[in-house]
Amino acid sequence: MGLSMSQWDDLDEHDRAYALALDLVDAEDAAGRCTCCGGVAAECQNPDNQHAYVVTFRRCFRTLAVMEAEEKRRGKDGLGDMKGVLTVVRLDPALKKSATRPQSAK
Ligand SMILES: [Zn+2]
């Protein structure tokens, strides 16, 4: 972006974030990456590919568990305190479906 150090120092937090974002966009452009999706621009911006993308969905159960725990903590009124709360997630093998379902006889 070409700012001097004193120009940089004069920027407020919002303008610095904006300037850094512009640098990121320039860097993505220079690398041939799409600034919208992060993919290869020559591919995702090629009109020939307009209807060629097949989208599938997968569910992240770790994210789901975090979202549900945060909703529960906030409560029905949504006012539960989340300030300063760190989210720590661990996978408990004893709670896996495969560990809690009765084993079928073979
Ligand atoms: Zn793209």
pTM assigned to the model = 0.51
Four-CA torsion 62, 66, 67, 69, nearest 10 degrees? 130
Q: Ligand 1: distance of its center to the CA of 40 in Å? A: 7
Q: Ligand 1: distance of its center to the CA of 21 in Å? A: 17
For residue 105, pLDDT over 60 is answered with no
The amino acid occupying position 76 is: K
- Cα gap 11→56, rounded to integer Å: 43
Q: For the chain, what's the residue count?
A: 106
Q: Ligand 1: distance of its center to the CA of 56 in Å? A: 17
Q: Rounded to a whole number, what is the largest CA-CA distance in the chain?
A: 75
For residue 4, pLDDT over 90 is answered with no
Mean pLDDT (the chain, rounded) = 89
